Chains A and B, each alone.
Chain A
């Protein structure tokens, strides 16, 4: 089944404790993105990647890192999480210039 998977789906952590949210797609898509969704703000793009080893900042990259060492994986790294990074995170992949396929989401709470 073609899909985008994210892990974990739910995470509660404390300020400053490094964490990684994994994202994997099995559709051989070149493009992958990370978004955060906050009430009243819609979705805001954090980072995107157009291919292996090619990443670029979205609208809200501060406090986040990404890497794209393999085509299928695009992990999101929070080196020192803070409470303002409490949010719902979505990973998405796309074959390019067409619809994006979204993962199920990761709900992160930073205490």
Chain B
């Protein structure tokens, strides 16, 4: 059974700083997702990582996947207040179906 663990659970950081959110998973996962959720809102897809070594970037966010270490990271560069949100990673252990397991989320607060 796939288990997904994120850390930290809470992160408060100053504008302009860099930081990384970590997503560890317990068994083979054929793909790894990152989502963003603003308070009271639905989830917005950020990245889908499909293979070892995959790296994707959008603005100040960069996600990577290391399947050997069973680790994905979401790196935030020069944080701005608009990035304040909860970030979730999710994995799937069976290619071809949609059984996803989510991490518990990282609540990120950017302080001016």
Query: Which chain A residues (28-56) contact chain B, with CB distance < 8 Å?
Result: 31, 33, 35, 40-45, 48, 50, 56
From B11-19, B64-72, B76-84, B100-108, the one touching the partner chain is B100-108
Q: Which residues of A contact B45 (CB under 8 A)?
A: 99-101
Q: Which residues on A sit within 8 Å (CB–CB) of B43?
A: 43, 90, 92, 100, 102
Number of A-B contacts (CB under 8 A): 56
Name the distance in Å between A74's Cβ and chain B's nearest Cβ.
12
Q: Interface size for chain B: under 10, 10 to 19, 20 to 34, or 35 or more residues?
A: 20 to 34
Which residues does chain B contribute within 8 Å of A45, judged by CB atoms?
A: 99-102
- Chain A contact residue count (CB 8 A cutoff): 27
A105 and B104 form a contact (CB under 8 A): no
**Contacts A42-B88, A97-B31, A99-B45 hold; do A56 and B97 have CB atoms under 8 A apart?**
yes
Q: Which residues of A contact B (CB under 8 A)?
A: 31, 33, 35, 40-45, 48, 50, 56, 58-59, 90, 92, 94, 96-105
Going nearest first, the 5 A-B pairs with the smallest beta carbon separation are: A99-B45, A42-B104, A43-B102, A102-B43, A31-B98
